Structure 1
Amino acid sequence: MIITKGARRSIRCALLLTALWAAVPGVGAAQAGDQALRVAIADRGGPREVRSFYAARPNQPLWIVGGHVSPAADKLLDLIASARLDGLDPDDYRPRALVSALEGAASGSPRALARAEAALTVSFVALARDMRRPRDVGVVYPDAVLRPRVPGVRELLMEAASAPSMADYLERIGWMNPLYAELRLAALANGAPGPGGVGEELTDREALRANLDRLRALPADLGRRYVLVDAASARLWMVADGRAQGTMRVVVGKTAEPTPLMAALIKYASLNPYWNLPPDLARSRIAAGALSQGPGFLTAKRYQVLSDWSDDARPVDPSTVDWQAVADGRIEARVRQLPGPGNAMGRVKFMFPNDKGVYLHDTPDKKLLKEDDRQFSAGCVRLEDAPRLGRWLTGRVLPIARARPEQRLDLPQPVPVYIVYRTIAVENGRLVSRPDFYGRDGGERRYAAR
């Protein structure tokens, strides 16, 4: 007799469920003999990793406690009902079939309980993995370790099984990063579409979806310590063990040169840095100054021209440069500003090497930090209190006064920095709305600030 691949799959699922039913209190293997029911449950799509998970426990139910379906099942149904918040289709997770299985399990029948167990597990795996699958929203990942990934089925189930309470784990969306979970939960609490229908308070669902998509593009585990920069509010937080240990104002990119979304590792501080001007600024700012005021303009502003872009470039007399050609874009000049009180980088910059040339740095121009809207930079993040961030990152006072120019100070351990853009955020459990300076939400903003 030839056994088809589908039949082999059904037999394997049936054997798994026979063991599973036997693990339910008061259920023996002899009670698990309904082949038609086994095939029906097998058809629910239990993958090999699910079977592996149950075999490793061994065959201890995840959703059945004391012969009854646990409250975690209702939490899963709520998550499925509100899945449109995540850009997902609730029908993909078979909510009606789930409800039918749960209604059957209310009888206490071991086979019905096993059927509900299998259905809940398969739907949970599908939903959680889809929630973890990021959209392409333009986040830059200089360090591959911070790139989000979809967990394996067994990995996901083992993490859920290790939670002290499965119901609590689902309620706080424990497989997602805390920034995503916080916004999603607050959105539901403040009137977003949920199990009870469409709320009236939150009308800008497109902006909410955009914010959730940007947050789901971060890794699920943000790290024990990390720096969070929100370009929409122009503010930075230092976070450890899930709690903000400090915050400060920052200046971020202007609308024409927005600060990019990024997940990177801060690896070192550069003390008393040079400021290497981008070629466009050398063309527009330095060439214009040299043409109008003469090469002495560069000396007065502590700018230095270098021969090329290599590490061993040598200083060049600015009077020998054809500044008109630089202004016209026919040649490119490498210009840097020497360290000192007026240096645009200030006293220190914190480096997370990336091809966007973006970093966190001190600034001598503190007055801009007093503005309510702080979009003034060319993309980098200027810090209100760089020495304080340095102490938090390194555990020591930065030796800026004694440091030589561009002295590198490695962090004891790299610290993640997440540059996000939250035009809808959570403050004290309530949603707040911010202007979409960079036009990343799409559509018209209609949600009123609270």
Structure 2
Amino acid sequence: MTPPPILLRAPAERRGVPARWVAVACLALPAFAAPAREPALREDVSAALTRLQSRQEATAADLARFYGERGFEPAWFANGRPTAQAGEAVALLRTAVSHGLEPADYDAEGLAQRLRDAYRETIAATDTALTSGLFAFLRNLGRGRIVPPRLRFEPARRMDEPDLARVVAEATTAGRLPGLAARLAPASAQYERLRGALARYRVLASEPLAALPAVRKLAPGQDYAGIAALHRLLVALGDLAPGTGVPQRYEGEIVAAVRRFQERHGLDADGVIGKASLAALNAPLRGRVRQIELALERLRWLPPLTADKLIVVNVPEFRLRAMRRDGETFSTALRMNVIVGRALDTQTPMLIEELRRIEFRPYWNIPPSIARKEVVPRLRREPEYLAREAMEFVPTRGGRPTTEPSEAMLEAVLRGEARIRQRPGPRNALGAIKFVFPNNANIYLHHTPGTALFARGRRDFSHGCIRVEAPVELARFVLEEETGWDEARILAAMREDASPRTLRVRTPIPVLVFYTTAVAEEDGRMFFLPDLYGHDAALDAALRQRP
């Protein structure tokens, strides 16, 4: 069937519809074109669409196809009145708040008022505005409001763009519009747990408690004027059971509750309330609400993760989780502490790549930046440092390694004609095992001979790579499907007398190096962490720039 000329040519010629959008709409008309009812109203819709497209470039193509497929008939009005589905669309926009998004960004209340007040001359503008708001919400829900590369996160695998025109058309036809949010939001247990926490913390933030009195240092057994206020706060936050009595002094169960609070907020869980703990206890809960909203936004950046295993490093938490698929989501099989890049100058980047091999007894090829800034200057001061640290020079264009720290070799390193590497052994910075997931930042997981730092609360000490506390357990998780690679064989491959060896992983495992300061644990506890690299502040500022 050939569409009537007025649908495709007359509006474009008389109303200025961009030719590229008309062309997009033409492609799908035979399958979805609605029967013509009011030519004048269709021209009004076309004109309103043109005005919207000039302001909504992100959804312009979807809008053109959506209305083209229905012959430029209104989508949310019939016989001059809003349909029931128009109300469902507005209700869907109002759910944005439960996802940490702002319904005002999609003009939810304004559109509700326009539907109530609509008359013949405003139908077209109201109809297209509602479709535009719905498309914008669904796109943000599925992919996030902010483009990740703006905030130093570039997923290796791109998400497919949702066909919003078809998705909404099919949902309205089948009566499934209310379910679209669940369909397009991240299919993640963490995402749903955070949504539940968001609702709880909004309630808590709406009923603020009195601030705790200042105290320089409160240790167990001491008197405290704010003991009743501390009790109320800990009960409200879930760290203290509601039936627990208020003690006369700071001791007993309330100390244990403070330890639980400290653990959940990235503090040393010693039960002593000092400056940092008091600040966390008195932090406005609206700030915790915002942390959860930012965590939800970051989860919307992730592509679907379809593998059976997943390794996640959360940088500000200094934690690694090895996870197995459990139905539609993942459950945690292994947790461990990690050491990440220094906040000041060597931050660990966010990325998603695949773990493809394990290197036992690895060489450490010192990155050129570290060689230039640290190793070469030190060798000029202490030539013996090369032998002490079991390092050697390797020409980049072939030639034998040398352990002679001559000025000529140092200059060759600075020119990029040689590199410095550290041989396997007890001094090697990578320890006895390295987990390789190739990436542009040259970041990897590895063992370390210096394990004392894992006991620290704050653990940003590396040049950017990630040191793992339990490398044998992680290797067992990675290699559990590999025949013959039990714990004994892993330990044998890591022994000092073993030769360097590279083992390819049969089924690559996605590694997600992530950054979130709000984590909803499987047991229901909420963890809030300091903004180690300032990424929360940057994301918050970006999101406050209204679309």
TM normalised by structure 2 equals 0.58
Picking from 461, 465, 480, the partner of 1:380 is: 465
- CA drift of 1:137 comes to 1.1
Question: Which of 519, 522, 540 does residue 425 from structure 1 map onto?
Answer: 519
Distance, in Å, in 1 between the alignment partners of 2:461 and 2:32 is 61
Report deviation, 1:406.
4.7
Task: Write the mapping of 1:2-17 to structure 2, written as runs, cut at 5 A.
Answer: 3=6, 4-5=10-11
SS at match of 2:348: coil
- 1:278, CA displacement in angstroms? 2.1
Give me the whole-angstrom Cα distance separating, in 1, the residues matched to 2:369 and 2:69: 57
* Partner deviation per Cα, 1:19-55 (whole Å, 9 max, x = no partner): 8xxxxxxxxxxxx967788788888868465479999
Structure 1 residue 155: deviation in Å?
Answer: 6.5
Q: Show the counterpart of 2:320.
A: 236
- Equivalent position amino acid for 2:404 in 1: P
Distance 1:167 1:293 in 2: 69
1:301 match: 389
Matched AA of 2:11: K
SS in 1 for 2:505: strand
Task: Give how far 1:333 is off.
Answer: 5.1
Change over 3 Å in CA distance of 1:363–1:259 after alignment to 2: same
Task: Summarize the alignment of residues 150-229 of structure 1 with structure 2, pairs less than 5 Å apart.
Answer: 150-153=161-164, 156-157=167-168, 167=178, 170=181, 172=182, 174-176=184-186, 178=188, 179-180=190-191, 182-191=193-202, 201-203=285-287, 210-221=294-305, 223-229=307-313
2:110 aligned with 1:90, yes or no? no
Structure 1 residues 338, 117: CA separation in 2 closer, same or farther (over 3 Å shift)?
Answer: same
Greater shift in the superposed pair: 131-140 or 361-370? 131-140
Contact 1:211 1:422 in 2 (8 A): yes
Q: Which deviations, in whole Å up to 9, do the C-alpha atoms of 1:296-350 show, x marking residues without a partner?
A: x4334322221x235x4521141445577589x6787522111234322122212
Give yes or no for contact 1:275–1:336 (8 Å, CA) kept in 2. yes
Q: Verify the 8 A CA contact 2:198 2:289 in the aligned structure 1.
A: no
Structure 1 residue 76 displacement after superposition: 1.0
Q: Given that residues 262 and 419 in structure 1 are in contact (C-alpha distance below 8 angstroms), is that contact kept between their aligned partners in structure 2? A: yes
Question: Residue 314 of structure 1 corresponds to which residue in structure 2?
Answer: 400
Change (3 A) 1:341 1:165: farther
Q: How many residues align?
A: 399
With over 3 angstroms needed to count, the CA separation of the structure-2 counterparts of 1:202 and 1:287, relative to structure 1, is same
Provide closer, same or farther for how the CA distance between residues 287 and 164 of structure 1 changes in structure 2, counting only shifts above 3 A. Answer: farther
**Cα contact 2:138–2:184 (8 A) shared by 1:** no
C-alpha distance in structure 2 between counterparts of 1:245 and 1:351, whole Å: 20
CA distance in 2, matches of 1:330, 1:37: 71
The alignment yields a C-alpha RMSD, in angstroms, of 4.9
- Closer, same or farther in 2 for the Cα pair 1:157/1:291, shift >3 Å? same
Aligned: 1:439 with 2:546: no
SS at match of 1:315: coil
SS at match of 2:333: strand
1:24 aligns with: none
Secondary structure of the corresponding residue to residue 318 of structure 1 = coil
Measured in 2, the distance between the counterparts of 1:322 and 1:343 equals: 25
Q: Which residue number in structure 1 is paired with residue 255 of structure 2?
A: none
State the secondary structure of the residue aligned to 1:316. Answer: coil
Which residue of structure 2 aligns with residue 366 of structure 1?
Answer: 451
Q: 2:474 aligns with which of 374, 389, 396?
A: 389
Cα distance, 1:239 vs structure 2: 2.2
SS at 1:392 equivalent: helix
Quickly say closer, same or farther: Cα 1:290–1:120, change in 2 above 3 A.
Answer: closer
| Separation in structure 2 between the aligned mates of residue 429 and residue 164 of structure 1, nearest angstrom | 34
Match of 1:410 in 2: 504
Cα gap change, 1:51/1:216 in structure 2, threshold over 3 Å: closer, same or farther? same
Whichever residue aligns with residue 317 of structure 2, its letter is S
**Residues 119-161 of structure 1, C-alpha deviation per residue, up to 9 Å, x if partnerless?**
98765433111332542211144x3xx2345322257559979
1:249 Cα deviation from its structure 2 partner: 1.1
Give 1:254 shift: 1.1
More relative contact order, 1 or 2 (CA 8 Å, 6+ apart): 1
Residue by residue, what CA displacement relative to the aligned partner does 1:236-280 show, whole Å, maximum 9, x if unpaired?
Answer: 112222232221111111112110111212222222211111234
1:338 to 2:420 alignment: no
Would the alpha carbon gap of residues 384 and 18 (structure 1) be closer, same or farther in structure 2, given more than 3 Å must change? same
* Aligned equivalents of 1:321, 1:220: Cα separation in 2: 52
**1:23 paired residue number:** none
Alignment-mate amino acid for residue 97 of structure 1? L
Which SS does the other structure have where 2:478 is aligned?
helix
The 1:176/1:120 distance shift into structure 2, 3 A limit, reads farther
In the alignment, is the contact (CA less than 8 A) between 1:98 and 1:120 conserved in 2?
no
Stretches of structure 2 lacking an aligned partner (at least 5 in a row):
50-61, 72-82, 119-125, 209-283, 541-547
Higher helix share: 2
Match of 2:94 among 78, 82, 89: 78
Stretches of structure 1 lacking an aligned partner (at least 5 in a row):
20-31, 56-66, 105-115, 446-450
Residue 335 of structure 2 is aligned to residue 247 of structure 1: yes
State whether residues 173 and 181 of structure 1, in contact with CA within 8 Å, keep that contact through their aligned partners in structure 2.
no
Note the C-alpha offset of 1:380: 0.4
Q: Is the 8 A contact 1:101 1:119 kept in 2?
A: no
CA gap 1:173/1:231 in 2 versus in 1, 3 angstroms: farther
Indicate how the Cα distance of structure 1 residues 382 and 169 shifts in structure 2: closer, same or farther if over 3 A, else same: farther
Q: Which residue of 2 aligns with 1:127?
A: 137
State the percentage of identical aligned residues: 25
- CA gap of 1:259–1:402, structure 2 versus 1, over 3 A, is closer
- Bigger drift between 434-443 and 210-219 goes to 210-219
CA distance in 2, matches of 1:159, 1:344: 57
How far apart are the structure 1 equivalents of 2:434 and 2:396? 20
How big is each residue's C-alpha offset from its partner over 1:380-413, in whole Å with a ceiling of 9 and x where there is no partner?
Answer: 0111122322232232337543587553322222
SS in structure 1 opposite 2:458?
coil
More displaced stretch, 362-371 vs 276-285: 276-285
> Residues 169, 371 of structure 1: CA spacing in aligned structure 2 closer, same or farther, 3 A cutoff?
farther
Is the 1:326–1:333 Cα contact (8 Å) retained in structure 2? yes
Q: Call closer, same or farther: CA 1:2–1:262 in 2, change over 3 Å.
A: closer
Q: Structure 1 residues 71 and 284, CA, compared in 2 at 3 Å: closer, same or farther? A: same
SS in 2 for 1:190: helix
Closer, same or farther in 2 for the Cα pair 1:16/1:283, shift >3 Å? closer
- Residues 1:5 and 1:187: Cα distance change in structure 2 (over 3 Å): same
